[in-house]
Amino acid sequence: MRNPTLHDVARAAGVSYSTADRVLNQRGGVAEKSILRVQHAIQELGYRRDIHAANLSRRRSYRFRFYLPQGDHGFFSVLRDAAQDQGRARALDRINVDVHDVPALDADALAIELASIAEGDCDCVAIVGADSDRLGAAVARLAGLGIAVVTLVSDVESHARAAYIGINNIAAGRTAGRLIGLAHTARYGRILPILGKLGVRDHRERLRGVSDVLAGVGGISLLPALEVMDRPDRMLEHVGKVLTMDPDITGIYSIGAGNRALIRILGEMGGARPFVVLHELSPHSRVALEGGLVDAVIDQKPAEEIAQALDAMKAIVDGEVPIQAEITPTIYLKDNLPGPTGDGEHA
Amino acid sequence: MRNPTLHDVARAAGVSYSTADRVLNQRGGVAEKSILRVQHAIQELGYRRDIHAANLSRRRSYRFRFYLPQGDHGFFSVLRDAAQDQGRARALDRINVDVHDVPALDADALAIELASIAEGDCDCVAIVGADSDRLGAAVARLAGLGIAVVTLVSDVESHARAAYIGINNIAAGRTAGRLIGLAHTARYGRILPILGKLGVRDHRERLRGVSDVLAGVGGISLLPALEVMDRPDRMLEHVGKVLTMDPDITGIYSIGAGNRALIRILGEMGGARPFVVLHELSPHSRVALEGGLVDAVIDQKPAEEIAQALDAMKAIVDGEVPIQAEITPTIYLKDNLPGPTGDGEHA
DNA sequence: CTGAAAATGATTGACGTCAATCATTTTATG
DNA sequence: CATAAAATGATTGACGTCAATCATTTTCAG
């Protein structure tokens, strides 16, 4: 079964290949009646450009840039590795991926980086978004230069951004709440939420999600959120103190990204451990999950996010509508982890 | 950045394009010393065939056949729709997908269907596997004809099958056990497992998984498994009876595929409902999850399975090694469901 | 009707690969 | 050294599309 070609379209429309090409590619110099005939033939035949043949002819390459937060957060290093690995694997699709580090939690630094991009420097840009007027303006400037911007993990408030790929953070918080509710089916409880910064929208949304669900579960109190600024020293200092002063805490929900210090605290606890939900599967959180220090990890599957970002960016550059496939909050327990297991209990 | 071409390889090896082509495609008529030079150049330059250009030149199309169980099981209709939709969406990659219905749970009927495939009829076949010597032999015959077979959802015991795409069922059962354990924190419980057929390996494996995990949780009894042969009438009759005779049942784990009858029973129950875990997200199980009749659904993401099957089949036909990306058991609670939500509580 | 502008058509070479065919060169054998 | 076989090289057209260029036809305006 052969797909229709532009030759077929031209024949069906009763025009030359040149005219069909002029219509398809909006080159001008075609009378309205011929335009309509070609468009009708395209629709009737279901013609779609063979993008591979077109790219071969044009010597097209797709130059994609990713601006990703640096730092010690496991999640962002997983995301960076995925961008680089998948970019490499897609060389035969003519995709070149350039990964740039930017300071974490610093929207202004990112905006400055984006401001240095000139027209024609690349075809599409992917960033981890943030709430920032300056960042929104930088995105809009790039769109004006014909460089589409895709946001990952966290969105921007700019209508100029071409696509968002990430989870719904309210749903993520609700999911954490549902799990905490499950673990409190037959008991009362006090839950400590820990977050990086209330100013970060994603963190606020997750807190709202967990709060909504727990409000509907009788017998569970949600404590005031503890802000640790994604700093391990603050995590060590403040969480330890709260746990000592309130030994009735039965659950912890860590909303932010950095969990190494928290895992350390959990490892050093004696007695009954609280039920713990973290975000993002990283080597550290994985070990904690496998070892029973942590009960659940809610993940946004960075490798899938990168794959979808690449698909979306390519579609945008090809002039197609990017498919908005959804990344749902993924729940990892001890038993459904991807890849080889550490505990050898099952093959 | 341009990928190296075969012209580059020929130049680097100091031979003509014709000779490089003969080596690459093993056409013969090349001296050993020239073969080594070309192979060395291929390796040094990291040359990879531009498969799109090659397919254009050869007028290649990929003819894939899917043999999927028919019947009223929601999961297999989701799988069938995914195969058809994704096949259509991949026409520009020259992929043609042909979906064939076969009787459910009937390995012999499937083997007979496979036996009617002649050499050259298609390029690759995907089936839902089963334990059956006859099926294994049919797979081996096809491999002998140069038609690779990929198994989905359930594997076969044949070394001749080219790839398996599906979840680890022991892990799926363990995951169900972990969830059940969570919901029984601080209380005792009695758990009723329901399965289609003990003779089906997948069902056996899931039962073993849940059994292993619950053995490590104090205070929970796993009742003898109830076999309902994937028949709604048996489900209605037997589950209702057991629930009446044993009102202390605190949890149900439905291992098999058909859950409409069970959902109906749950909807008609008065009093306290047991904690319920099902497999496979379908329109019916989704409604039950959203409505609170069911607490968790463990899914194997049929759309992702089909996508991976198509990738694997294409790789096999292209002579590449298919990437064995893993499908992990996906946990759906009320709050992390994909797509628009039914309850309108969050956007 | 004539001349100019617009529309349309024809042609060509390119992209990377496939595959067939024929020409030329190199190697092996007697 | 001569001949035959093997190895190698050159050429060509194809695939579907792009893009440029020039030729021809049609339309419009005076």
Print the domain residue range for A71. 59-166+302-327
Q: Given a cut of 50, is residue B347 above it in pLDDT?
A: no
Dump pLDDT digits (tens) for B33-66: 999 999 999 999 999 999 999 999 999 999 999 9
Residue B342 lies in a domain: no
Q: How many distinct structural domains can be found in chain B?
A: 3
Task: Find the CB nearest A171 among B53, B183, B336.
Answer: B336
B276: β partners = B252
Contact check, Cβ <8 Å, B187/A184: no
Contact check, Cβ <8 Å, B345/A209: no
Residue B338 lies in a domain: no
Dump pLDDT digits (tens) for B178-216: 999 999 998 999 999 998 877 788 899 999 999 999 999
Question: Which site among A214, A335, A337, A343 would you substitute to test the B interface, given the most B Cβ atoms closer than 10 Å to its Cβ?
Answer: A335
CA–CA separation, B291 and B273 (whole Å) = 13
Nearest-CA distance from A130 to chain B in Å? 20
Identify whether residues A285 and A212 lie together within a single domain.
Answer: yes
pLDDT for res B235: 85
Average the pLDDT over A29-44 and give the result: 95
Nearest-CA distance from B162 to chain A in Å? 20
| pLDDT confidence band for A206 (50 / 70 / 90) | very high
Greatest Cα-to-Cα distance within chain B, rounded to the nearest angstrom:
84
Q: Given a cut of 70, is residue B92 above it in pLDDT?
A: yes
CA–CA separation, A109 and A277 (whole Å) = 31
What CATH number is associated with residue B189?
A: 3.40.50.2300
| pLDDT confidence band for B290 (50 / 70 / 90) | very high
| pLDDT confidence band for A232 (50 / 70 / 90) | confident
- Tell me what percent of the residues of chain B surpass a pLDDT of 70: 97
- Tell me what percent of the residues of chain A surpass a pLDDT of 90: 70
DSSP symbol at B91? G
Dump pLDDT digits (tens) for B297-328: 999 999 999 999 999 999 999 988 888 778 89
Q: Which residue of B has its CA nearest to A340?
A: B326
Which residues in A136-173 are b (16+ Cβ under 10 Å) and which e?
A: bbbbebbbeeebbbbbbbbbbebebbbbbbbbbbbbbb
What CATH number is associated with residue A19?
A: 1.10.260.40
| Contact map slice: A 99-128 vs B, CB within 8 A | none
Identify the burial level of A312 via C-beta atoms within 10 angstroms of its C-beta, where 0-12 means exposed, 13-18 middle and 19 or more buried.
buried
Between A and B, how many residue pairs show a Cβ–Cβ distance under 8 A?
Answer: 134
Identify whether residues A138 and A125 lie together within a single domain.
Answer: yes
C1'-nearest nucleotide to the CA of B20: D8
Torsion, Cα B111 B112 B115 B116, to 10 degrees, reads -140
Residues of chain A contacting B4 with CB distance shorter than 8 Å = none
Residue with CA nearest C19 C1'? B58
Residue A281 lies in a domain: yes
Residues of chain A contacting B337 with CB distance shorter than 8 Å = 328
The helix/strand/coil state of A117 is coil
pLDDT for res A341: 60
Contact check, Cβ <8 Å, A330/B334: no
pLDDT for res A231: 80
Identify whether residues B125 and B242 lie together within a single domain.
Answer: no
Q: Cβ of A272 under 8 Å from any chain B Cβ?
A: no
Identify whether residues B115 and B221 lie together within a single domain.
Answer: no
pLDDT for res A205: 94
Residue with CA nearest D11 C1'? B18
Contact check, Cβ <8 Å, A170/B56: no
pLDDT for res B145: 94
Q: Given a cut of 70, is residue A342 above it in pLDDT?
A: no
Nearest-CA distance from B103 to chain A in Å? 28
C1'-nearest nucleotide to the CA of A56: C15
Identify whether residues A229 and A199 lie together within a single domain.
Answer: yes
Higher pLDDT, A261 or A22: A22
Q: Given a cut of 90, is residue A104 above it in pLDDT?
A: no
Contact check, Cβ <8 Å, B91/A48: yes
Contact check, Cβ <8 Å, A335/B178: yes
Cβ neighbours of residue B27 closer than 8 Å, sequence gap 6 or more: B21
Identify whether residues A129 and A114 lie together within a single domain.
Answer: yes
Residue B283 lies in a domain: yes
Identify whether residues B286 and B187 lie together within a single domain.
Answer: yes
The protein residues having a beta carbon less than 7 Å from any atom of strand C are A 14-19, 22, 28-31, 33-34, 53, 56-57, 59; B 2, 5-7, 18, 21, 24-25, 47, 49-50, 53-54, 56-58
Residue A320 lies in a domain: yes
Q: Where on strand D do bases come within 7 A of a protein Cβ?
A: 6-11, 13-21
The integer distance in angstroms from the CA atom of B29 to the C1' atom of C18 is 17
pLDDT for res B345: 45
Other Cβ atoms less than 10 A from the Cβ of A217: the count is: 15
Q: Given a cut of 80, is residue A346 above it in pLDDT?
A: no
Q: Cβ of A187 under 8 Å from any chain B Cβ?
A: yes
CA–CA separation, A88 and A97 (whole Å) = 7
Residue B337 lies in a domain: no
Which residues in A219-229 are b (16+ Cβ under 10 Å) and which e?
A: ebebeebbbbe
| pLDDT confidence band for A286 (50 / 70 / 90) | very high
Average the pLDDT over B251-268 and give the result: 88
Residue with CA nearest D14 C1'? B57
| pLDDT confidence band for A72 (50 / 70 / 90) | low
Q: Predicted ipTM?
A: 0.89
pLDDT for res B344: 43
Q: Which residue of B has its CA nearest to A292?
A: B178
CA–CA separation, A130 and A17 (whole Å) = 48
pLDDT for res B214: 96
> What is the residue type of B341?
T
Contact check, Cβ <8 Å, A170/B91: no
pLDDT for res B325: 73
Dump pLDDT digits (tens) for B116-128: 999 999 999 999 9
C1'-nearest nucleotide to the CA of A3: D16
Nearest-CA distance from B306 to chain A in Å? 15
Element (H, E) at A148: strand A148-152
The integer distance in angstroms from the CA atom of A337 to the C1' atom of C13 is 55
Identify whether residues A178 and A277 lie together within a single domain.
Answer: yes
Residue A346 lies in a domain: no
Identify whether residues A213 and A249 lie together within a single domain.
Answer: yes
Higher pLDDT, B233 or B148: B148
Average the pLDDT over A307-324 and give the result: 91
**What are the φ and ψ backbone dihedral angles of B144, each rounded to 5 degrees?**
-65, -30
Higher pLDDT, A114 or B158: A114
pLDDT for res B11: 95
Identify whether residues B152 and B244 lie together within a single domain.
Answer: no
Q: Cβ of A335 under 8 Å from any chain B Cβ?
A: yes
Residue B333 lies in a domain: no
Identify whether residues A65 and A97 lie together within a single domain.
Answer: yes
The integer distance in angstroms from the CA atom of A14 to the C1' atom of C10 is 15
Q: Given a cut of 80, is residue A302 above it in pLDDT?
A: yes
Average the pLDDT over B278-296 and give the result: 93
Average pLDDT, chain B: 91
The integer distance in angstroms from the CA atom of B31 to the C1' atom of D1 is 26
Identify whether residues A15 and A78 lie together within a single domain.
Answer: no
Q: Cβ of A339 under 8 Å from any chain B Cβ?
A: yes
C1'-nearest nucleotide to the CA of A4: D16
